[in-house]
Amino acid sequence: MKKKSTKRLVKVLSPKKKKVGLIDIANRVGVGVSTVSRILNGTPNSIKVTEKTRSMVLEIATELGYASHHIPAKHHKGVRSIMVISHDPGETFYQKIICAIERTLRSKGYACYFSYTEDDPKQAGELIDAMGERFTSGCVIFQKENEIFTEENELKLKNLGIPCVVIDRHPTPRPSFISTVELDHEHAGYVVASHLLHLGHRNFAFLSVPGSLSSCRERRIGVEKSLAEAGLKLDPRYVVKIKPEARFQFFDTFNSWNSKGKTFPTAIIAVHDELGYAALNVLENMGFSIPKDVSIAGFDDRVEMVPWGLDNVRTPLTSIRQPIDSIGIAAGNELIARIKNPEREPEHIRLKGELMIRSSTAKPKQYKLLVRNGRK
């Protein structure tokens, strides 16, 4: 009778991956640990080693998987990943641009992964650290304010040595190592104001938002440039910074404009559509007829930004439509061009928008009187 055999299952543990240190790189290259340390953690001008030694250290460090923010992107051979950093995953506008970027990068063999700052500078800093650990080839950045370009985060990003493209709102002052792709905001402001001037408007208000966004500032410059050519300028009494969700502040502002001794503006330019639809909604609820009493125009052509529900808005907004696909394609191509040629200077690409004329703008009520008096 054969003895029944029993099989024992033995768990085989895979060896724990050894963390790569400076000594491992030094042994492979044949130099001292201090030399490796100076190359990986210093700046090129402060390290007195030959270019051949420097190149060997960087190549071996990359091969062994040593994570350092100071290894330039050109040494990341075989790495074809791009990080896209956005402040908000929910906005349709940014999702559409991201889709265009991803299509462009994917067609060139690059993979994208996405992360979000949620407007938090600390979280943005952690994402920058993660890019260094993953040897990311490049990054695309959307930011709400300056949460990514704090002094600390900007230094981290610069030391990564990878191409960066910022979309829609560039930091001020603009760092020398970033490319930018965005709407030509100044031209957009000029076009909106020129449209309203052509209709016969001469009394303007300008609504902006708190803060110092580059897009808002440049749009106002364009508006003022167009008005100046017509011999006009914005009246400071009708230049207001207000949050789109501050509904009661809209009522207070418009009531103050409608007070005795003031002439209510015939045209309101809102710095973006969310603000424009908020103003339009409040004015209609106050009994104003749009555009018979007041014309309103905005920027971005973002219907999804209508506050308080679409049912509350009866009049579609005249707006500048952003060239979403063109922005995404241009950003992807700029990033790839800089990855392939690390010495290439960053470009700052401005794309023209399209004026979408809708029923929120028309000739002012006093247009015929202005013509009759020779003041068109």
Instruction: Report helix angle 151-160 to 121-133, nearest 10.
Output: 10
Give the burial class of 53: count Cβ atoms within 10 A of its Cβ; 0-12 exposed, 13-18 middle, 19 or more buried: middle
Indicate whether 366 and 300 sit together in one domain: yes
The residue range of the domain holding 49 is 22-66
Indicate whether 269 and 367 sit together in one domain: yes
Q: What is the pLDDT of residue 7?
A: 47
Indicate whether 231 and 361 sit together in one domain: yes
Domain assignment of residue 339, yes or no: yes
Domain assignment of residue 71, yes or no: no
Q: What is the tally of structural domains in the chain?
A: 3
Mean pLDDT value across the chain: 83
Q: What angle do CA 163, 169, 175 make, to 5 degrees?
A: 45
In 3D space, the residue among 64, 52, 54 whose CA is nearest the CA of residue 18 turns out to be 64
Residue 231: is its pLDDT beyond 60? yes
Indicate whether 174 and 212 sit together in one domain: no
Indicate whether 191 and 110 sit together in one domain: no
Give the torsion sign (CA, 277, 283, 285, 289).
negative
Range in 17-26, 51-60, 105-114, 358-367 with the lowest mean pLDDT: 17-26
DSSP state, residue 295: E
Indicate whether 195 and 105 sit together in one domain: no
Residue 306: is its pLDDT beyond 90? no
For residues 322 and 93, what is the distance between their CA atoms, to the nearest angstrom? 9
For residues 223 and 85, what is the distance between their CA atoms, to the nearest angstrom? 31
Indicate whether 332 and 345 sit together in one domain: yes
Q: What is the pLDDT of residue 93?
A: 80
Check residues 368 and 188 and name the one with the higher pLDDT.
Answer: 188
Collapse the DSSP code of 180 into the 3-class scheme (helix H, G, I; strand E, B; otherwise coil) and give the result: strand
64 band by pLDDT with thresholds 50, 70 and 90: confident
Domain assignment of residue 76, yes or no: no
Domain assignment of residue 1, yes or no: no
CB contact burial 366-376 (16+ within 10 A = b; e otherwise)? bbeeeeeeeee
User: Which of 14, 35, 66 corresponds to the end of one domain?
Assistant: 66
Please compute the mean of the pLDDT values over residues 83-89 and round it to a whole number: 82
Residue 132: is its pLDDT beyond 70? yes
Indicate whether 246 and 360 sit together in one domain: yes
Please compute the mean of the pLDDT values over residues 234-238 and round it to a whole number: 95
Indicate whether 36 and 58 sit together in one domain: yes
- The enclosing domain of 62 has a CATH number of 1.10.260.40
- The enclosing domain of 114 has a CATH number of 3.40.50.2300
Strands 318-321 and 354-356, how do they pair?
antiparallel
Q: What is the 3-state secondary structure (H, E, C) of 206-245?
A: EEECCCCCHHHHHHHHHHHHHHHHCCCCCCHHHEEECCCC
DSSP state, residue 66: -
Please compute the mean of the pLDDT values over residues 308-326 and round it to a whole number: 79
Count Cα atoms within 13 angstroms, Cβ side, for 177: 16
Residue 1: is its pLDDT beyond 60? no
Domain assignment of residue 291, yes or no: yes
Give the tens place of pLDDT for each residue, 187-227.
999 999 999 999 999 999 999 999 888 999 999 999 999 99
Q: What is the pLDDT of residue 375?
A: 43
Domain assignment of residue 4, yes or no: no
Domain assignment of residue 75, yes or no: no
Indicate whether 28 and 106 sit together in one domain: no
For residues 37 and 46, what is the distance between their CA atoms, to the nearest angstrom? 12
Give the tens place of pLDDT for each residue, 11-41.
444 445 566 677 888 888 888 877 777 676 5
Indicate whether 263 and 367 sit together in one domain: yes
368 band by pLDDT with thresholds 50, 70 and 90: very low
Domain assignment of residue 17, yes or no: no
Cβ atoms of residues 323 and 188 within 8 Å: no
User: Has this prediction a pTM greater than 0.85?
Assistant: no
Indicate whether 301 and 337 sit together in one domain: no
Range in 68-72, 86-90, 118-122, 251-255 with the lowest mean pLDDT: 68-72
